[in-house]
Structure 1
Amino acid sequence: MSDTLTHLDSNGNAHMVDVSEKDVTKRTATARSVVKMLPETLKKVIEGGLPKGDVLATVRIAGIQAAKKTPDLIPLCHPLMLTKITLDINVLDDCHIEILCTCALSGKTGVEMEALTGASVAALTLYDMCKAVDKGIVICETALLEKHGGKSGSWSANRG
């Protein structure tokens, strides 16, 4: 791990990192968002009983679209040619949904921000789709779970 902030130049000014000399490697990252809601709301999400339509399909599409739009949202992110984006949605218990976004490419820079953006926007979309019946929904956690590839190799969060 580096002890310097790569998005700051020698004068402390923000800049986009030059990746032109980096090697092209396969890079993947998975991020997670957890959303907490009332059990009745989760039941409606699963059964399709909400007025805005198929909640989980909309959440999945929103997360994929957001991952592709990351450089439009995060100022110093490189535009990337993502080759894979998956959005997995898992019911954890009677009031928690886990959203996992995995992004991949062969390139010169990582896809952590794309995975985090996909998971975050998917969670926000879940909130938007359900807020009519549950205004107390909480996005509890958004975090990078793992990344692979590049000079720094693999990294995994302690899930223990």
Structure 2
Amino acid sequence: MIIMVDKTVLDEVIESISGMVDISDKEVQKRIATAKGRIYLSDISMDHIRSKTNPKGDVLENAKLAAIHAVKKTPEMVFMCHPITISNVDVDFEVDENYIEVFVSVTTLNRTGVEIEAIAGVMNSLLAIFDLSKRFEKLNDGSYDTAKISNIKVVKKIKS
């Protein structure tokens, strides 16, 4: 017996996925992308970050490692992202009174850009900062009133 099943939404989604973009005809070039993002934190969290007294360790050093790790693992997290060789990752922080801005610059010699890798680095770095600071951020009702991640964007893309 053959049972006919109507096409599902999942079937339609699967059919709509066109696959990775073929980059084999593109020229190998030096490509650099820089992304940034911001996390707002309470005074107590910022004090622990500045004084490096967070019980979980140096927050910015951990956030730097988290950014580099995310850049290298981007193709495993973003399905259509090409696995490419990463030549360099620079991670910088601007620590203000009530927020930290994270900048991640990624360099490659390849046929495709590294904007997604730069964004992934920023996002994971911000997530690490939140994770290491959450003990100071959580309010009695379980909310996180001050802690907020925002303004994630690509700020530079260079091909040469």
Question: Is the pair's TM-score, using the shorter chain for normalization, greater than 0.5?
Answer: yes
Deviations 1:115-158 (A, max 9, x none): 000000000000000001113211022111110117xxxxxxxx
* Cα shift at 1:12: 4.2
Secondary structure in 2 matching 1:69:
helix
**Aligned equivalent of 1:139, options 122, 126, 149:** 149
Counterpart residue number, 2:127: 124
Query: Helix, strand or coil: the match of 1:133?
Result: helix
Q: Please say which structure displays the higher CA radius of gyration.
A: 2
**What's 1:33 paired with?**
37
For residues 23 and 111 of structure 2, what CA distance do their matches in structure 1 show?
A: 6
Letter matched to residue 21 of structure 1: D
Q: Distance in 1 between matches of 2:86 and 2:17?
A: 28
Residue in 1 that maps onto 2:4? none
Q: Which blocks of at least 5 consecutive residues in structure 2 are unaligned?
A: 1-14, 139-143
Offset, 1:13: 2.8
In 2, Cα distance between equivalents of 1:60 and 1:138: 19
TM-score (norm 1): 0.83
Structure 1 residue ranges without an equivalent (≥5): 1-10, 151-160
Q: Which amino acid aligns with 2:132?
A: M
For residues 132 and 144 of structure 1, what CA distance do their matches in structure 2 show?
A: 30
Task: Name whichever structure is richer in helix by fraction.
Answer: 2
| 1:21 has 2:31 as partner | no
Does the residue aligned with 1:68 lie in a helix, a strand or coil? helix
**Superposed CA RMSD:** 1.2
Map of 2:84 onto structure 1: 80
**How much has 1:14 moved relative to structure 2?**
3.0
Partner of 1:107: 110
* Misfit runs of 4+, over 6 Å: none
Question: How many percent identity over aligned positions?
Answer: 32
Q: Is the 8 A contact 2:44 2:136 kept in 1?
A: no
